[in-house]
Amino acid sequence: MTQTESCCSCCGTSPAAAPVRRGFLGSLIAWILGIVALLPGIGSGMAAFLSPLGKKAQGGLRVRLTSLDNLPDDGTPRKFPVVAEKANAWTVSREPVGAVYLRKVAADRVEALHVVCPHAGCSVDYKPGESGSEGRFFCPCHLASFSLSGKRLDAVSPSPRDMDSLEAEIADNGDVWVVFQNFQLGTSAKIPMA
């Protein structure tokens, strides 16, 4: 090959070799840019996957629902929505996350029951008693009945367990606080959900 046949005078390569080298370099650069573009997605995916490992198990959401004065002294349950504050970098919003039945069982004691039926997740209703009888909780989806304390009333109940009780406490100022948490449905064991 002579000087006039080469692609350039500096390296002496032939015109046929230049496109192959440019094609290889172009492909290499495209691969590198593609991998660099994937790294943030892979990193955030791994962070989301591994984040539960770094957190301690939470016992639920502690919320103030009402004051003791708002609960009837006769033990009749009242339903209260549970609203959680969700914060991001710019705003704080309040979103409903569930509901709880509260009832005063003594002057200084309150019982809290989750409104979700442990069978299939339907919302349990309260049915007041008629002509002096005690009221009960009733699941309209599968006709399960529960006492005011949340115990199953049916000899053979579609619900695998009693209604889920929640931790409730009365503060010194009379506010009623509940630790709200959801539980797995359809099991006889009361297993908290993450």
Assess whether pLDDT exceeds 90 at residue 78.
yes
Q: What tens digit of pLDDT does each residue of 87-136 get?
A: 776 787 888 889 999 999 988 899 999 999 998 888 999 998 887 678 89
Q: Is 108 part of any domain?
A: yes
Q: What own/partner pairs with CB < 8 Å and gap ≥ 24 does 50-58 have?
A: 52/194, 57/194
Task: Give residue-wise pLDDT tens across range 7-33.
Answer: 555 555 555 555 666 678 888 888 899
Least confident of 45-54, 59-68, 101-110, 183-192: 45-54
The pTM (predicted TM-score) of the whole model is 0.65
Q: Are residues 169 and 129 in the same domain?
A: yes
Same domain, 157 and 71: yes
Rounded CA-CA distance 41/35 in Å is 10
Which residues span the domain enclosing 8? 3-54
What pLDDT digit, counting tens, does each position of 133-182 carry?
Answer: 788 999 988 888 999 999 998 888 888 999 999 999 999 999 999 999 99
CATH of the domain at 150: 2.102.10.10
Q: Quick one: 46 and 135 in the same domain?
A: no
DSSP state of 152: B
Q: How far apart are CA 83 and CA 75, in angstroms?
A: 24
Q: Is the pLDDT of residue 49 over 90?
A: no
Contacts of 72 (CB under 8 A, 6+ apart): 78, 103, 104
Task: Identify whether residues 123 and 93 lie together within a single domain.
Answer: yes
Considering only residues 169 and 47, tell me which one the structure prediction assigns the higher pLDDT.
169
The mean of the pLDDT values for the chain is 82
With a CB cutoff of 8 Å and minimum separation 6, the contacts of 29 are none
Total domains in the fold of the chain? 2
pLDDT at 5 over 90: no
